[in-house]
Amino acid sequence: MSNQNPISAIDNLTSAVNSHIIPNQEYLLQGSVIDASAAVLLHRLRGLCDAAESGPETFHDHEMCFSLNSRGQVPVGTPLQQQPFMLRVRRALDHPEYPWQLRYLGNPELGEKSQPTVLRSCIDIGCCSSNVLEFIGEMGFRLEFEFVLKGYLFRKGRMKVTMSKLFRLPSAQVKSTENLEAMTSSYLVELSLLAPSGQDAVADEIKVFADQLRPLVHLEKIDYRRYTKDD
């Protein structure tokens, strides 16, 4: 067991962040593909991504998004930088024995027009116990929304590609994973890469791979400001 005191541990963590060792930035492109074309895109991803013979990983997850905003919603017209602090909790419905996941995602940064991807801060904690909900509840977080994702995960080097279907929950507490209502007749496709701060060159790597998926899916740098109203 380490005899390192908490102050030294914090100093080491701070030093690691400042030295750009910890992957805390997510580079992201998003798009969608209709159900009728999903099989074609899956075949294309199998050919381009790693572990082509074994096929993609599958997932069936329940995700909950929590906010520190006491009113539980963001007023229309609120700038992105003023939105409340958000945390996401995810659990695997198909593997209840797996640990829960806690994730912080910062507000999307579009950067310069030449920047090919969205950039946002990202911190993942992948080994949480089921009482994580009680823990963040005691901190003042309140549930904003929740949904179920079911889909496929591909890897290409450091990049991750997910192709997922979103479902509404029949009730606040998931008791059955069957007969869920799909939100859309399409799949959400996300191409992302986690890297330490300052490695913006990886955005070009993502863009090159995204271009190989056209015209099956157009992965884009989504401007989230289009979904808010100005005063």
* Residue 96 CB neighbours (<10 A): 8
What is the mean predicted confidence (pLDDT) over 22-26? 79
Q: Domain count for the chain, please give it.
A: 1
pLDDT confidence of residue 101: 95
Q: What percent of the chain has pLDDT over 90?
A: 55
For the stretch 142-183, pLDDT in tens is 999 999 999 999 999 999 999 999 998 876 555 556 678 899
The tokens describing 165, both together, are 């279907």
pLDDT confidence of residue 161: 97
Does the residue 170 lie in any domain? yes
Could you identify the residue written with the tokens 């060159």? 201
Does the residue 18 lie in any domain? no
Check whether 188 has a pLDDT greater than 50. yes
Q: Are 55 and 213 in contact (CB under 8 A)?
A: no
Does the residue 10 lie in any domain? no
For the stretch 52-69, pLDDT in tens is 777 789 999 999 999 986
Q: Read off the CATH number of the domain in which 35 is found.
A: 2.40.320.10
What is the mean predicted confidence (pLDDT) over 7-28? 62
pTM confidence score: 0.79
* 10 confidence band (pLDDT: 50, 70, 90): very low
Does the residue 49 lie in any domain? yes
8 versus 39: the higher-pLDDT residue is: 39
pLDDT confidence of residue 76: 46
Does the residue 220 lie in any domain? yes
For the stretch 72-122, pLDDT in tens is 444 444 444 456 788 999 999 999 999 999 999 888 887 667 788 999 989
Q: Are 186 and 31 in contact (CB under 8 A)?
A: no
Does the residue 6 lie in any domain? no
156 versus 24: the higher-pLDDT residue is: 156
**Dist. CA 21–CA 81, nearest whole Å:** 26
Does the residue 212 lie in any domain? yes
Average pLDDT, the chain: 82
Residues ≥6 apart with Cβ < 8 Å to 142? 66, 67, 68, 69, 70, 72
| Interior/surface letters 115-141, b for 16+ CB within 10 angstroms, e for the rest | bbbbbbebeeeeebeeebbeebeeeeb
77 versus 214: the higher-pLDDT residue is: 214
Does the residue 132 lie in any domain? yes
For the stretch 38-48, pLDDT in tens is 999 999 999 99
Domain containing residue 41: 23-227
